Amino acid sequence: MKKHIAFLLLGLICWSSVATAADKQEGAYRVKFDPAVVAEIDRLIKQGWDDNEVSPSPRAEDVTWLRRVYLDLVGHIPPLSVVEAFLKDSDENKRARIIDELLESRGYVENWTTIWTNELIGRQTPDRVSRNGMQKFLREAFAKNRRWDEVVYDILTAEGHFEENGAVNYLLSQMTMRDEGVQATAKTCRVFLGVQVQCTQCHNHPFNDWKQNQFWEFNSFFRQVRRVDHRRIDPQTGRQVDDYSELLPDNFSGPVYYERRSGLMQVAYPKYFGETVEFDNGESRIKILAESIKGDPNNQLARSMVNRMWGHFFGFGFTRPIDDMGPHNPASHPLLLEYLTEQFVKSEHDLKMLMRWVANSSAYQLSSEFNSKNQIDNPAAGEMPLFSHLYIKPMNAEQLFDSLMVAANADEMSKANYEESSRRRSQWLQQFVTTFGTDENDESTTFNGSIPQALMMMNGELVETATKCEQGSLLHRIVFSNDKDVRKVQQLYLAALCRLPNARDTAAIKKLFQMNSDPNVAYQDLYWALLNSNEFIFIR
């Protein structure tokens, strides 16, 4: 028991005492972006604060910010060793350096592959679509930091076998029903161009500018591809089973017919946002669409990506939702949206550079706590976002899984190979997905902060594994080290929450240890409490 009293006396250790051992470095890290771009972002954001008479919250603590940027860029919390090193680091540009390190990491490639696979084909892979194929294509795109406009061009124009050319899986996943490319039309507009047209299939849009003919003009680009599903005999059972699928050219020609509400039949020819294009001149129509998107003088593809990216980091984009842009839905920061679009195009659609600008902007450095002068900046309550403080956002299922792996130190615990662990991960993720079986392939998740998620955290295997204190786990390593108890507790807080315990925590920890004759049990329960807390699940 004496040991615990000793740690209580030291319990109120604060930030500075941990960070004292910081070693001075020769010169600051050299940033890899044009500071003028970030300065302009900052200026335009500040304009919004001034116009609305709000004052920004202070900068977030370094390690709070570290946790945030890890989750946003690589999809999991930082390992304890990184947290402790960052605390000690005195380089004034250490935030910029971490961003660059993360952008070059394998975690970045995996995270953005996951994000875009989910976006393009859904969390539940439709039948006869190859998730592996899609991932392979995206992994290469993000690893090489390919130009976004070219990635999209390849996705739209891909042909062939669904594992040999993984890019075909986007269109395959949108062509699961014989719907004449209706779903592919709506999804392509939404996911790449940030415009919602699905309603205009049947009638002129009640709110935005889209008319029914535009939907079908767009749709006619998707008519010269078709999917072919191959089957084979399973030698074991002698039954026919799915073999592979592929995307092939189709010799469709002429106009597309659609029905007006009045019952009148109409025709539509390929047009890009109302602009006439040449078609059926030897190039497939989907290629013409892909070229129109790539060469669009209005840069809608770039604008849509900028809006999406801003939303990724801040929880709210410049429009709400991020993929419903247009005159009917004015942007919160139109000048900034245009400026970033322009810069993104100038950078040759460099995704990493776009992320650098956003993650290095002053707004992204801020605390997520409100202050007395920015209470109105509350987009969760429906207000327009001003970005005068960070908005907390709950981890999604993938981020939680990967973060609990880091918290458990599971990489070292199980020597399971990569495929085995990614299989476990996708199996675990499936429990939260519900599909509606409609032609839109829409799905929802019960990983939404409701009771099943709380039950999973309290009683599920992931947190249990992280808190079991098995040989090789992070908890085991900390608890059985020669450190003092106060240090062990600090490490647990840093590992789970990226902060040190405060006075209230310390008082509660004292009680927890008093109730347990075995301190190891108390450590397990403490770690369980941290991992189950709101402070853990929210990116702050």
Partner 1 sequence: MSLYIPGSMDRRHFMRHLAAGSAATVPAFGFLNHLSANADQVRRNEKACILVWLGGGPPTIDMWDLKPGSKNGGEFRPISTKGDLQISEHLPKIAQQMDVLSVVRSMSTREADHTRGRYYMQTAYVPNPTVTHPSFGSVVSHELSSKRKYLEIPAFVSVGGGSGSSGFLGMTHAPFVVDSNGQIRNATQGAVDRRRLDQRLAMWNVVEDGFIKSDRGDLPQAHKDVYGKAVNLMTSQQMQAFQVNKEDPKVIEAYGNNNFGRGMLMARRLVEEGVPFVEVNLGGWDLHSQVFNTLRDQRLPTLDQGISALVQDLKSRGMMNNVTIVCMGEFGRTPRINQDTGRDHWAASWSLLIGGGGLKGGVAVGSTDKDGVAIEGKSYLPGDIWATVCKALGIPLNIVHTSKRGRPMKIANGGNPIEELI
Q: Which residues between 411 and 450 bind partner 1 (CB under 8 A)?
A: 431, 434, 436-440, 442, 444-446, 448-450
Integer CA distances (angstroms), 171 to 57, 166, 168, 186, 257, in order: 44, 10, 6, 12, 22
Q: Which is nearer to partner 1, 293 or 395 (CB)?
A: 395
Q: Which is nearer to partner 1, 345 or 433 (CB)?
A: 433
Tell which positions 195-254 bind partner 1, by CB under 8 A. 198-199, 201-203
Q: Which residue, 392, 487, 438, 373, is CA-closest to 60?
A: 392
Residue of 296, 324, 338, 342 that binds partner 1 (CB under 8 A): 324
164 or 464: CB nearest partner 1: 464
Q: What are phi and psi of 249, to 5 degrees?
A: -65, 150
**Closer of 109 and 429 to partner 1 (Cβ):** 429
Residue 20 in the binding site for partner 1 (CB under 8 A): no
Q: Which is nearer to partner 1, 269 or 391 (CB)?
A: 391
Binder among 46, 362, 391, 425 for partner 1 (CB under 8 A): 391
Closest approach of partner 1 to the CB of residue 63, in Å = 16
**Contacts of partner 1 in 393-412 (CB under 8 A):** 394
In whole angstroms, how far apart are CA 76 and each of 406, 489, 500? 7, 21, 19
Select 62 or 180, whichever has its Cβ closest to partner 1.
180
Q: Select 122 or 452, whichever has its Cβ closest to partner 1.
A: 452
In the complex, what is the shortest distance from the CB of residue 534 to partner 1, in angstroms, rounded to a whole number?
4
CB of 151 to partner 1, least distance (A): 27
Q: Residues 62 to 101: which contact partner 1 by CB under 8 A?
A: none
Return the residue matching tokens 């946003």: 72
* DSSP secondary structure letters along 394-424: E--HHHHHHHHHHHHTHHHH----HHHHHHH
Cβ proximity to partner 1: between 80 and 151 the closer is 80
CB of 374 to partner 1, least distance (A): 11
509 binds partner 1, rule: CB under 8 A: yes
238 by DSSP, 3-state: which? Answer: coil
CB proximity list for 268: less than 8 A, separation 6 or greater: 213, 216, 217, 219, 220, 255, 256, 257, 258
Is residue 39 close enough to count as binding partner 1 by CB under 8 A?
no
CA-nearest of 124, 157, 152, 159 to 138 is 152
Task: Determine the Cα–Cα distance for residues 184 and 168; give it in Å rounded to an integer.
Answer: 12
Q: Which residues inside 476-505 make contact with partner 1, applying CB under 8 A? A: 497, 502, 504-505
Helix (H, G, I), strand (E, B) or coil at 141: helix
- Asked if omega into 321 is within 30° of 0 (cis), the reply is yes
**Which one, 215 or 344, has the nearer CB to partner 1?**
215
Q: Which residues of 360-379 are buried (b: 16+ CB within 10 A; e: fewer)?
A: bbbbbbbbbeebeebeebeb
Which is nearer to partner 1, 253 or 444 (by Cβ)? 444
What are the Cα distances from residue 341, in Å, to 142, 303, 348, 364?
Answer: 20, 5, 11, 18
Distance of CA 530 to the CA centre of its chain: 24
Task: Output the smallest distance, CB 212 to partner 1, in A.
Answer: 12
Closest CA to 424 of 449, 461, 477, 388: 461
Q: Is 381 in the site for partner 1 (CB under 8 A)?
A: yes
Residue from the set 320, 373, 476, 477 that interacts with partner 1 by CB under 8 A? 320
Which residue in 5, 22, 248, 515 binds partner 1 (CB under 8 A)? 515
For residue 366, the SS3 value is strand
Q: What residues between 159 and 178 interact with partner 1 by CB under 8 A?
A: 177-178
Can you tell me which of 242, 243, 369, 412 binds partner 1, judged by CB under 8 A?
Answer: 369
- In one-letter notation, the amino acid at residue 464 is E
Regarding 382 and contact with partner 1 (CB under 8 A), the answer is yes
Amino acid symbol at 467: T
| Min separation Cβ 351 and partner 1, Å | 26
- Alpha helix stretches (DSSP H) within 434-502: 451-459, 461-467, 474-479, 485-497
CA-angle at 477, arms to 471 and 479, nearest 5°: 105
**Tokens 């070229």 sit on residue:** 291
Q: Which residue among 204, 266, 329, 422 contacts partner 1 (CB under 8 A)?
A: 329
Nearer to partner 1, 90 or 502 (CB): 502
Contact between 123 and partner 1 by CB under 8 A: the answer reads no
Instruction: Please say which residue, 81 or 372, places its beta carbon nearer to partner 1.
Output: 372
Which of 79, 452, 472, 519 lies at the binding interface for partner 1 (CB under 8 A)?
452
List the structure tokens of 516.
């347990």
| Span interacting with partner 1, options 78-86, 116-124, 217-225, 379-387, rule CB under 8 A | 379-387
* Displacement of CA 350 from its chain's centroid (Å): 17
Among the residue ranges 41-49, 234-242, 266-274, 319-327, the one whose residues contact partner 1 (CB under 8 A): 319-327
Looking at beta carbons only, is 276 or 438 nearer to partner 1?
438
- By CB under 8 A, name the one of 61, 140, 179, 250 that touches partner 1: 179
Q: What is the nearest approach in angstroms of partner 1 to the Cβ of residue 385?
A: 11
- Is residue 533 within the footprint of partner 1 (CB under 8 A)? yes
